[in-house]
Amino acid sequence: MASLLDKFKRGLAKTKSGLFDEIVNLVQNQYVVDDDFLERVEEILIASDIGVETSLAIVDDLKEHVNRAGFNQSGELIDFLKSRLAARLLENTGEKQAPHDFFVPDVKPFVIMVVGVNGAGKTTTIAKLAKGFQTHGKKVLLAAADTFRAAASEQLEIWAQRVNAAIVKTQHGGDPAAIAFDASKAALARDVDVLIVDTAGRLHTKANLMEELKKIERVLGKAIPGSPQEVMLILDASTGQNAIVQARQFKAAVGVTSVAVTKLDGTAKGGMVLAIGHELNLPIRFVGLGEAVDDLKPFEAQTFVEALFE
Amino acid sequence: MFQDITEKFDGVFKKLKGHGKLTEANVSETMRLVRRVLLEADVNFKVAKDFVAGVQDKAMGHDVLKSITPAQQVIKILHDELARLMGTTDSQINESGSGPTIIMLTGLQGSGKTTLAGKLAKHFKARGQSPLLVAADLQRPAAVEQLKVVGEQVGVSVLAELASTPVNVCRQALDVARKSMNDIVIFDTAGRLHVDDELMQELTSIKETTNPDEILFVADGMTGQDAVNTAKEFQNRLDFTGIVLTKLDGDARGGAALSIRAITGKPIKFISNGEKLDALEKFHPDRMASRILGMGDIVTLVERAQGAVDEEKARKLEKKLRRQEFTLEDFYDQLQQIKNMGPMEELLKMIPGAGGKAMKGMQVDEKALVYVEAIINSMTIEERRRPNILNGSRRKRIANGSGTSVQEVNKLLNQFNMMQKMMKKMNKQGLRGMPRLSF
């Protein structure tokens, strides 16, 4: 796991001031926890897209903690913040299920439907997932059900070749539900372990496109009863508070079961996952840390929080 | 989702009633609320802080508390100040004095560059110009292919050299453009993280080699706090000339607009709104201000209505209304036109105040419209024109045909009757003030 933290650090080091340094500086210069100090902590939390509500709640916790127990050195405050953040993440998210088991599903074929807004990183994440399954000796089939965006299926096809997975596709403008159906049948016929369905990016506010997504899900369920076992929502780490709305809407439409956060190798901290886990009870399963096919790592609450503070 | 901002400010001002002017002592609670509103809209916290400090001076001294509606007064100050900071509606592309105008598109992965390239090409072609699209994204799988398809869709030629490097393709494009008389050249560069030194260097090289007239920073309108970090770095490296915001057709409040504008000082030139290739709009600072404040966007609503409503039908309908001949058929047409405008919930959100009190907890039942449609579809043309002939057995047939119940058919007919009565009343009072009733 050292490499994961390193990757995080490399990204986060580029923001000039880590949360940790800022807090240490604040305390060393002031030696008191006053309103100004608390406001700065609040700002630092807000700056990682944790959201106003959650930030205020955590700052209140900190205030109350200091009032009750006091503190001797800045490290204590940081430990307290870390534990509060981690507790919030752990409350509902991932760690219950060991992330490595994900690549060894006990259902066959295991069907994953990947959804999200435009440009979130769905296709790239699918390639990484395919690689993960193949590393565990699983036979993977990809379904190019994004028939809307220009060259989307070509993009998936190139990835399929790179990770050596089979693919089912149609021409541009075809019916995505039909692709999902054909792919399901192919998965059964070819004795495939895992079927991953790519869908077109869509904003959660477009009712007709969300209906289309529901249809894909229904069709999958008819072709292979019980599927899709996993509906994974892909979120761009740089997204702000709208990420929560996205998660809520996608969950309402197609019963999202998990989240993957992409592009965490930039300076965006992806703090919105705290609110998503907390409010929507959705596990954060993976984080995307680059464009290479191995850059998908299991999400770990503790590491995530540590990285925020480095 | 959004609590009405007016409601929030009302709450604060109730406590301040009788204080006359806003003073330093009582302004702080108001400003805390302002800050919170901005933060919830994803405005960067530093930008929000500066904004609050600036607006505080403006708000103090105004006789806002004497006013009957202090909340509205403060919101107006906020709104105007936001709009002012976000700049002008001037979205002209910098044109080249001699030779083709070169536009370079840059930004993070997935911000919408390739789609924007297609939209810009279409925009210039419609103005009678001859654009050339240049595939300088040799990074993402099938990005070149995507641009080719987009170019085909808008009927614009695409330069693609897979074996080349991005810098060389762009250099080569200038020769191609001169030879084939293209007056606009659009570079679609690969998405990259601002912390990726090597790839950022590549952009600098393209800039130095080709000297573009316009470098656009393409940013996702849903971006959160990190917008400032990205924009700042792209600014440092490239000194870009303008900003384009994408994906604002969703429901993000779009605070990134203010953040990026404030941190770079560059003009926001376009809004890239939607996946269709003509969804390119001018940037309107006042509308963006309303949006950031969660106040709805009545102007866009009206524009959508204009887009969706068939003028000819509207005129006919108006005549019918005057002659009191409004039938179920017309009613059905109206429903269709409203449906063309987009999902009901989205429309309601654009109505100022609809985010708040009046609509709280109200769920728009899109299904109800489907039933109405089905019922009308199950009627004969004669029945639609003369609903009075609908006796019991006809109603039963319609209920069966539409998969509804006689009660539901009755309900619709009652509503329709009421509407007709209302229209008669309006006719008596004259249709003054509503020259063109469109829905």
Q: DSSP assignment, residue B62?
A: S
Q: What is the DSSP string of B367-426?
A: HHHHHHHHHHHTS-HHHHH-GGG--HHHHHHHHHHHTS-HHHHHHHHHHHHHHHHHHHHH
Beta bridge partners of A111: A195
Give the CATH number, domain containing residue B356.
1.10.260.30
pLDDT at B439: 37
Least confident of A10-14, A213-217, B194-198, B423-427: A10-14
Query: Do B256 and B221 touch, CB atoms closer than 8 A?
Result: yes
Residue B386 burial (C-beta neighbours within 10 Å; 0-12, 13-18, 19+)? exposed
Nearest beta carbon to residue B249 from set A203, A266, A269: A203
Contact A151 B250 (CB under 8 A): no
For residue A287, pLDDT over 50 is answered with yes
CA dihedral A60, A61, A66, A68 (to 10 degrees): 110
pLDDT at A1: 40
**What is the nearest CA distance from B114 to chain A, expressed in angstroms?**
10
CA-based torsion, B362, B367, B369, B372: positive or negative: negative
Beta bridge partners of B271: B245, B281
Do residue B120 and residue B81 come from a single domain?
Answer: no
pLDDT at A137: 94
- Residue type at A56 in one-letter notation: L
Identify the domain boundary among B234, B249, B284: B284
- Is B91 contained in some domain? no
Do residue B279 and residue B417 come from a single domain?
Answer: no
State which residues of chain B have pLDDT below 70: 1-6, 13, 15-26, 61-70, 88-91, 296-314, 317-318, 320-324, 338-367, 425-439
pLDDT at B2: 38
- Is B200 contained in some domain? yes
Chain B residue with the nearest C-alpha to that of A123: B141
Contact A52 B45 (CB under 8 A): no
Tell me if chain B has a CB within 8 Å of the CB of A205: yes
Do residue B276 and residue B425 come from a single domain?
Answer: no
Do residue B209 and residue B333 come from a single domain?
Answer: no
Contact B42 A242 (CB under 8 A): yes
Give the CATH number, domain containing residue B278.
3.40.50.300
Do residue B53 and residue B116 come from a single domain?
Answer: no
Give the CATH number, domain containing residue B54.
1.20.120.140
Query: Do A151 and A141 touch, CB atoms closer than 8 A?
Result: no
pLDDT at B381: 85
Do residue B186 and residue B231 come from a single domain?
Answer: yes
**What is the nearest CA distance from B67 to chain A, expressed in angstroms?**
31
Q: Which of A18-32, A67-81, B92-106: highest mean pLDDT?
A: B92-106
Question: What part of A 6-45 touches B (C-beta under 8 Å)?
Answer: 11, 14-15, 43
* C-alpha distances in Å from residue A1, one per residue of A4, A300, A304, B60: 5, 10, 12, 54
Chain A residue with the nearest C-alpha to that of B196: A266
Name A29's Cβ contacts closer than 8 Å, sequence gap at least 6: none
Residues of chain B neighbouring A208 (CB-CB closer than 8 A): 343
Contact A240 B222 (CB under 8 A): yes
Do residue B346 and residue B376 come from a single domain?
Answer: yes
Query: Do B25 and B68 touch, CB atoms closer than 8 A?
Result: no
Alpha-carbon distance of A119 to A113, in angstroms, equals 17
Contact B153 A121 (CB under 8 A): no
ipTM exceeding the 0.85 mark: yes
How many domains, in total, are found in chain B?
Answer: 3
- Is B439 contained in some domain? no
Alpha-carbon distance of B390 to B387, in angstroms, equals 6
Do residue B78 and residue B108 come from a single domain?
Answer: no
Query: Do B11 and B29 touch, CB atoms closer than 8 A?
Result: no
Least confident of A3-7, A256-260, B412-416: A3-7
Query: Do B4 and B357 touch, CB atoms closer than 8 A?
Result: yes
Do residue B330 and residue B420 come from a single domain?
Answer: yes
Residue B311 burial (C-beta neighbours within 10 Å; 0-12, 13-18, 19+)? exposed
Do residue B275 and residue B335 come from a single domain?
Answer: no
Do residue B72 and residue B156 come from a single domain?
Answer: no
Pull the structure tokens for residue B314.
């509207």
Q: What is the DSSP string of A202-220?
A: --TT-HHHHHHHHHHHHHH
Provide the pLDDT confidence category of residue A139 given band limits of 50, 70 and 90.
very high
Alpha-carbon distance of B116 to A180, in angstroms, equals 29
- Is B297 contained in some domain? no
pLDDT at A208: 87
Do residue B312 and residue B340 come from a single domain?
Answer: yes
Alpha-carbon distance of A204 to A209, in angstroms, equals 8
Alpha-carbon distance of B333 to B313, in angstroms, equals 9
Alpha-carbon distance of A191 to A138, in angstroms, equals 11
Tell me if chain B has a CB within 8 Å of the CB of A93: no
pTM of the model: 0.80
Q: Which of A12-16, A29-33, B189-193: highest mean pLDDT?
A: B189-193
Residues of chain B neighbouring A241 (CB-CB closer than 8 A): 40-42, 224, 252-253
- Is B289 contained in some domain? no
Tell me if chain B has a CB within 8 Å of the CB of A261: no
Residues of chain A neighbouring B140 (CB-CB closer than 8 A): 155
Which residues form the domain of B119?
Answer: 101-284
For residue A307, pLDDT over 90 is answered with no
Number of A–B residue contacts, CB under 8 Å: 153
Residues of chain A neighbouring B256 (CB-CB closer than 8 A): 240
Beta bridge partners of B102: B185
User: How many angstroms separate the most distant Cα atoms in chain A?
Assistant: 69
Residues of chain B neighbouring A165 (CB-CB closer than 8 A): none
Q: Where are the alpha helices (DSSP H) in A224-271?
A: 242-254
Contact B226 A118 (CB under 8 A): no
